[in-house]
Amino acid sequence: MSVVNVHEAKTHLSRLLERVSAGEEIVIAKAGRPVARLVPYEEDLEPRTLGGWEGRVWIADDFDELPPDILAAFYGDDE
């Protein structure tokens, strides 16, 4: 894994993408601190199926309802 600074990443993006395409991971740092990681793109091997999350995800019946205090703030009634 290589680390490059933001300036180098902007200047040599095409070269970095070639290296990533070859399987290398590259970290982009700003002021010496990592902020992003370039990794090779991976195709989804399995197609998505309708209902794939059924039984694993739950949404509350009142999901779309706003709490009264937030609703009041939208209308300026919270003062």
Q: Is the pTM higher than 0.85?
A: no
pLDDT tens digits along 6-52: 999 999 999 999 999 999 999 999 999 999 999 999 988 888 889 88
Taking residues 52-72, what's their average pLDDT? Answer: 88
Domains and CATH numbers, the chain: 2-38 (3.40.1620)
Q: 3 is written with which tokens?
A: 């680390």
DSSP the chain: -EEEEHHHHHHTHHHHHHHHHTT--EEEEETTEEEEEE------SS---TTTTTTT----TTTTPPPHHHHHHHTT---
* pLDDT for the residue numbered 30: 97
* pLDDT for the residue numbered 26: 98
* pLDDT for the residue numbered 74: 87
